[in-house]
Chains A and B, each alone.
Chain A
Amino acid sequence: MAPPKNRRPGFSRKAQYSIFATYVLAIAGAIIGALLLLISILDPKGFSALRIVGAEASAPIGRFFNSIRRTAVDSSENISYYWDAASKNKAMNRKIEELKKENLELRITKLENKRLKLFIGNIQNEQLKIISTGRLISTSATSGRRLAIMSVKSTQNMVAGQAVISDKGLIGRITEIGLTTARILLLTDTANVVPIIRLSDGLAAFATGNADGTLLIKPLDLGINPFQKGDILVTSGNGGLYPPNIPVATIIGKSGDSGLAKPLADPATTDYSSILEIYDPAANQEIEIIREEANLLDSSSAVP
């Protein structure tokens, strides 16, 4: 394409100045962008109000296309049920007979477990307190951060830090709240750290996201890599944000000192997700107090 005429000013002073002015404006724009970036690096939640307005305004698009997507998935599933129906039916009947036997054994072990628990005494067996439920309507699929937008009826009683779970396990936690939407930091984001234990023996570890759909599991005692493929990890309840015993991930491999794990809950296939109450608000308040004290110390040391 030929260069545009308005970039060739000739001898016209006016044209030359106006080109110069556009350069100045463009550079000023870049500087403003850099300043905005600096502000958001210093205070990552600084522009949350703007993002919330954007999320609220664009949520209807997400809701609409999400309902279409769900219908498409459902109908294709329904059609696939009819495929090969007779032989499937036969196989299922056989399976049911086997499962009936297993079920009986399971019920016996369950009763035994109950008795043992009574024997041991107070083992955490609390009900999860669900504040509200909603649907994930979009994720930040272009960016290296793993965030999702959740659509809820109302955001009453919701605060940042509450855990979001699906029927399969932990999804993430809330970071920003609007009127009918909430922004969720997914489990797989590199900024999300979840205290976990191994279900089999209570080995304590931290799970951090790799931003590629896997989690890095760092055990508290370094040196040996104790993880085996297939280990199930659940939240420990430490730190006070996540309630204990929510399934988080299964180990799929090792990397150096740590284990690699795959989250049990997949945001793409979850229908509804629930928001849980913060497990131990007192723990959070303590952290806040410590933080404020540190700030006070900082400011007092800065003043000579």
Chain B
Amino acid sequence: MSHKERFIRRKRRKSFPLFGSRSYQSRINRRHSQWRILFAPILSVLMGSLMTTLPFFSDLPILPPFGFMIFIAWRLLRPGMWPMWVGLPFGIFDDIFSGALFGSAALMWSIAMLVSEFIDSRIIWRDHILDWLIASIFIAIYIIASLLIISMIQVRPNLWLILPQIIFSIALYPLVVRFCAAVDNWRLRR
């Protein structure tokens, strides 16, 4: 192996740390990608909102509200990462694709930001189980409230209808957190 090849190999190993025990540490001339830091979480939430555009046909509202779940997961995983008004733009984007009444997500996601700020001031040290509990309450209230908002303009569907969706969403939440954590790892890699 020539000297040049060895040099290239070493360089490549450094720029793609796969088993990076040192992957977050400061190293000379290795900086975070600012683009990734800013946009990775935002894009993940938008992607969650876009899940409804996939060809998923169902008679029941059964697909979990992935946009809201990813949003809440980021909020609980990284408090203070986003400014508090961020629920409004995310909510409006979700409203465009969800088929619910326009403004319902904008309102509820904003309120979720405010409430989670309050939770932050009360329950300061949280573990995963507690986060899951908090997120479960958020998700259940969100799904029920969406249905109640729809019933302002049309006949209210039976409330039992959304029980499978709530259970499914709560059960799926740890996976969503894993996804967000993986994106977070990738985001903060140097």
State the Cβ distance, A24 to closest chain B Cβ, in Å. Answer: 9
Say yes or no: is B104 at the interface (Cβ < 8 Å to chain A): yes
Enumerate chain B residues within 8 angstroms of A137, measured Cβ to Cβ.
53, 55
The one of B66, B81, B85, B146 in contact with A22, judged by C-beta atoms closer than 8 angstroms, is B85
Say yes or no: is B110 at the interface (Cβ < 8 Å to chain A): yes
Q: Is the CB of A143 within 8 A of B98?
A: yes
Enumerate chain B residues within 8 angstroms of A294, measured Cβ to Cβ.
none
Q: Is the CB of B103 within 8 A of A30?
A: no
Q: Is the CB of B61 within 8 A of A142?
A: yes
Q: Is the CB of A211 within 8 A of B107?
A: no
Say yes or no: is B152 at the interface (Cβ < 8 Å to chain A): yes
B 109-123 binary contact with A (CB < 8 Å = 1; else 0): 111011001001100
Enumerate chain B residues within 8 angstroms of A2, measured Cβ to Cβ.
124-125
Say yes or no: is A202 at the interface (Cβ < 8 Å to chain B): no
State the Cβ distance, B105 to closest chain A Cβ, in Å. Answer: 8
Q: Is the CB of B152 within 8 A of A144?
A: no
- Chain A: number of interface residues, binned into ranges: 35 or more
The one of A6, A41, A44, A211 in contact with B61, judged by C-beta atoms closer than 8 angstroms, is A211
Q: Is the CB of B55 within 8 A of A212?
A: no
Q: Is the CB of B152 within 8 A of A1?
A: no
Q: Is the CB of A142 within 8 A of B52?
A: yes
Say yes or no: is A32 at the interface (Cβ < 8 Å to chain B): yes
B 58-97 binary contact with A (CB < 8 Å = 1; else 0): 1111111110000000001111110111011001100111
A 229-273 binary contact with B (CB < 8 Å = 1; else 0): 000000000000000000000000000000000000011100000
Enumerate chain B residues within 8 angstroms of A51, measured Cβ to Cβ.
96, 102
Q: Is the CB of B57 within 8 A of A142?
A: no
Say yes or no: is B40 at the interface (Cβ < 8 Å to chain A): no
Q: Given the complex of chains A and B, what is the CA–CA distance between A62 and B53 in angstroms?
A: 6
Nearest to B112 among chain A residues (CB) is A30
Q: Given the complex of chains A and B, what is the CA–CA distance between A267 and B137 in angstroms?
A: 32
State the Cβ distance, B165 to closest chain A Cβ, in Å. Answer: 8
Q: Is the CB of A58 within 8 A of B53?
A: yes
State the Cβ distance, B120 to closest chain A Cβ, in Å. Answer: 6
Say yes or no: is A61 at the interface (Cβ < 8 Å to chain B): yes
A 67-80 binary contact with B (CB < 8 Å = 1; else 0): 00100000000000
A 147-165 binary contact with B (CB < 8 Å = 1; else 0): 1110000000000000000
- Chain B: number of interface residues, binned into ranges: 35 or more
Q: Which parts of A23-54 form the interface with B (CB within 8 Å)?
A: 23, 25-30, 32-41, 44, 46-47, 50-51, 53-54
The one of A4, A29, A138 in contact with B55, judged by C-beta atoms closer than 8 angstroms, is A138
State the Cβ distance, A215 to closest chain B Cβ, in Å. Answer: 11
Q: Is the CB of B60 within 8 A of A4?
A: no
Enumerate chain B residues within 8 angstroms of A188, measured Cβ to Cβ.
59
Q: Given the complex of chains A and B, what is the CA–CA distance between A208 and B117 in angstroms?
A: 42
Q: Is the CB of A41 within 8 A of B146?
A: no
Say yes or no: is A226 at the interface (Cβ < 8 Å to chain B): no
Q: Is the CB of A141 within 8 A of B120?
A: no
Say yes or no: is A168 at the interface (Cβ < 8 Å to chain B): no
The one of B85, B96, B104, B158 in contact with A210, judged by C-beta atoms closer than 8 angstroms, is B158
Task: Please report A residues at the B interface, Cβ cutoff 8 Å.
Answer: 1-7, 22-23, 25-30, 32-41, 44, 46-47, 50-51, 53-55, 58-59, 61-62, 65-66, 69, 136-149, 188-191, 208, 210-213, 266-268
Task: List 19 A–B pairs whose Cβ atoms lie within 8 Å, in order of A's numbering.
Answer: A1-B79, A2-B125, A3-B124, A33-B107, A33-B109, A33-B110, A34-B107, A40-B101, A61-B53, A65-B54, A69-B55, A138-B53, A140-B61, A142-B98, A144-B61, A146-B59, A190-B154, A212-B60, A268-B58
- Give the top 4 A-B pairs by smallest Cβ distance, nearest first: A213-B59, A140-B99, A36-B103, A4-B80
